[in-house]
Chain A
Amino acid sequence: MIGEREITVTAQESARRKRIERIIHGIFLMLGLITVGCVLLITIYLVISGIPAMRTIGLKEFLFGQKWASTAAEPKYGILPFILTSIYGTAGAIVLGVPIGFFAAVYIAKIAKGRIRWLLQSAVGMLAGVPSVVYGLVGMMVLVPGIRKLFKVPDGASLLASIIVLAVMILPSIIKVSVTALEAVPQEYEEASLAMGATPIETYFRVSVPAAKSGIAAAVVLGVGRAIGEAMAVMMVAGNAPNMPSLFESVRFLTTAVASEMSYSSGLQRQALFSIALVLYFFIMLINAALNFFLKRGNVKQS
């Protein structure tokens, strides 16, 4: 009798435990899917709030219109200046930042030893940690007056100032990812090259770098993503006038177009800002896809 009761109790107990396990499994599944939920949430919100203005304004008019005058009596919503500014600004930052980042990365990964290596790596870590508003502030107080004096232009807040700030800001991510890629090159490659009579420097640039090229490409793409998405630092040095891009002209990026008018916008103007964000998001998704492609090929983890 007693034995039978015990069995039913344990059977109940184990059924209860199984139920709890299943509930907990469900909870963890939901937590696991939270990132997917967030991505969907962001995409859906941007699409839903970004499409109406594009429809009202007309897609062609919106994307290729050269004039943005959202608060004029007869408002114009052309974002071509912003798109081109973002592309030129990013390209400029890459042209300036990638060579410095690349050579510094080879130096850190292959040549620097001991204390110097530690020093350089901390410098890179610190550059990565500086808040973007601090970059903006320093750019505003040093670069902008500097450009004004050096090039004798009426206002230094310009595309050039933004390019320099962005180049500095993408430097740490380029260096970090390139160093990881270069360090992952099998030592045998380098040893073989050295044994063939190549000097160390020749080996690093003709053997190690080509072997790490996917990782270095990923570093560049990551830099592109960072540069095109940066808002605050650029807002402080770009001048924010909706001009077509030109090196010494005050310009507005896709990011700063959203940020500078959001606080006082309403109606169609506000909807148009969401559409700008959607365009920016589209660019970011393209860059993400490219980044993933290179990361998979290079087998390097994004840091």
Chain B
Amino acid sequence: MQQGENDMKKNQLPVRRRAYIGTMKTTMWISALITCALIIGIIVYVFAKGIPFISWDLLSTSPTYIPPHIGILPDIMNTIYIVIASLVVMVPLGAGAAVYLEEYATNQKVVAVIEYAAETLSGIPSIIYGLVGMLFFCEFAGLKTSILAGALTLVIMNLPSIMRTTQESLKTVPQSYREGAFALGAGKWRVIRTVVLPGCVDGIITGCVLATGRILGESAALLFTAGFAHALNPFFEGLMSPGATLTVALYVYAKEQGEFGAAFAIAAILMVLTLGINSLAMWLESHFKKMREQGYPQEKSKE
């Protein structure tokens, strides 16, 4: 009945309005379809080209020139090193900045300046980070071209994002918890350590996952800070020596050496990793949101 009425109404509309509605509908359909087709096309293409080249030999060996052989184990290790090093430095800095903004800052002007700076940072292109990272960490601080210099550059790049996720979860810690702790005679620092920080763990975790995704995909900032080397090193030695991550290795193989098989294999691995990590981030965000909607979990106030 309702459907019939609607149809009648539609038929009564003047031709011009019907044409407008039809055009808009079709355009929207096509645009949404293009968006879907793009990602599906890229995924299918990269997997079709890359998976045949993925082998245990490729994943578990270092490259050699004589005989010519490609292995990406060093690049995988470098990527892991750079993720670990960046997260270790980034978490205290980003979470600390968020705690300052949410818990300490009283001067609105200071808050505005800090937030403006964070927004500016997230708009700066990665090639500029790479350049300044090279000037500051590699040359001025004397780290030379190394994984550590690359990791520190990435820390600056990803600070705004971990600050934002931590801030958002700090906002959800109920004010009454803080008041309760203050009423029991706890000092500011004790309240933050025992009540506020445990309450923002979810934000920090989400921030870390998001940052890992961005670090895995980053390349321009690493070209001149972490370099192109394919040497296999243990963790601490690796930090101090140059090394290519998976993305940089992909670039070098595709653009400079014409080894497209290896490039596509790396691309397929990167796609799996970034898609996995992005879905994890999306799942975490909705999971934490649900947890908060269900009421603030009790165990967080135990300490």
Contact = CB atoms under 8 A, between A and B. Distances in A.
Nearest to A105: B31
Contacts of B213: 129
Interface string B21-56: 100110111111011101110110110010000000
B28 A229 contact: no
Contacts of B277: 129
Interface of B: 10, 13, 17, 20-21, 24-25, 27-32, 34-36, 38-40, 42-43, 45-46, 49, 92-93, 96-97, 99-101, 103-105, 110, 113-114, 116-132, 134-136, 156, 159-160, 163, 187-189, 213, 216-220, 223-224, 247, 250-251, 254-255, 260, 263-264, 267, 270-271, 274-275, 277-279, 282
A255 B127 contact: yes
B36 A41 contact: no
A199 B35 contact: no
Interface in A101-154: 101-104, 106-108, 111-112, 119-120, 122-138, 140-142
A156 to B, nearest CB: 15
5 contacts: A39-B120, A42-B132, A262-B131, A263-B223, A284-B128
A99 interface: yes
Nearest to B264: A137
A141 B275 CA distance: 22
Interface stretch (A27-35, A59-67, A69-77): A27-35
Contact of A39 (B25, B49, B121): B121
A100 interface: yes
Interface residues of A, number: 85
Contact of A129 (B96, B114, B119, B274): B274
A20 interface: yes
A46 interface: yes
Given A104-B31, A138-B46, A280-B128, A129 B159 contact: no
Tell me the dominant secondary structure on chain B's binding face: helix
A21 B190 CA distance: 9
A182 interface: no
Of B36, B223, B224, B275, most buried by chain A (CB within 10 Å of CB) is B36
A217 to B, nearest CB: 16
B128 A127 contact: no
Contacts of B136: 41, 45
A25 B104 contact: yes
Nearest to A240: B255
Nearest to B268: A134
Contacts of B189: 20-21, 24
Contact of B42 (A46, A104, A138, A288): A138
B24 A205 contact: yes
B229 to A, nearest CB: 13
Contacts of B32: 103-104, 107-108, 112, 120
Contacts of A205: 24
B28 A29 contact: no
B96 A27 contact: yes
Given A20-B189, A107-B28, A134-B270, 5 more contacts: A25-B188, A28-B103, A229-B127, A231-B125, A274-B131
Contacts of B123: 225, 284, 287-288, 291
Contacts of A20: 187, 189
A228 B77 CA distance: 32
A123 B134 CA distance: 35
A259 B13 contact: no
Contacts of B27: 99, 103
A168 B34 CA distance: 10
A217 B100 CA distance: 32
A259 B114 contact: no
B46 A133 contact: no
Of A119, A125, A137, A171, most buried by chain B (CB within 10 Å of CB) is A137
Contacts of A277: 127-128, 131
A97 B114 CA distance: 32
A79 to B, nearest CB: 15
A49 to B, nearest CB: 6
A36 B42 contact: no
A135 B188 CA distance: 48
A292 B216 CA distance: 28
B254 A236 contact: yes
Nearest to B33: A104
B251 A123 contact: no
A130 B214 CA distance: 9
Contacts of A201: 20-21, 24-25
A183 B160 CA distance: 24
B217 A171 contact: no
Given A24-B189, A36-B117, A232 B128 contact: no
A175 interface: yes
A35 B117 contact: yes
Interface string A233-261: 00110000000000000000001001100
B250 A288 contact: no
A193 interface: no
Contacts of A235: 255
A259 B223 contact: yes
A107 B128 contact: no
B160 to A, nearest CB: 7
A277 B157 CA distance: 17
Nearest to B95: A31
A108 B35 CA distance: 11
B28 A232 contact: no
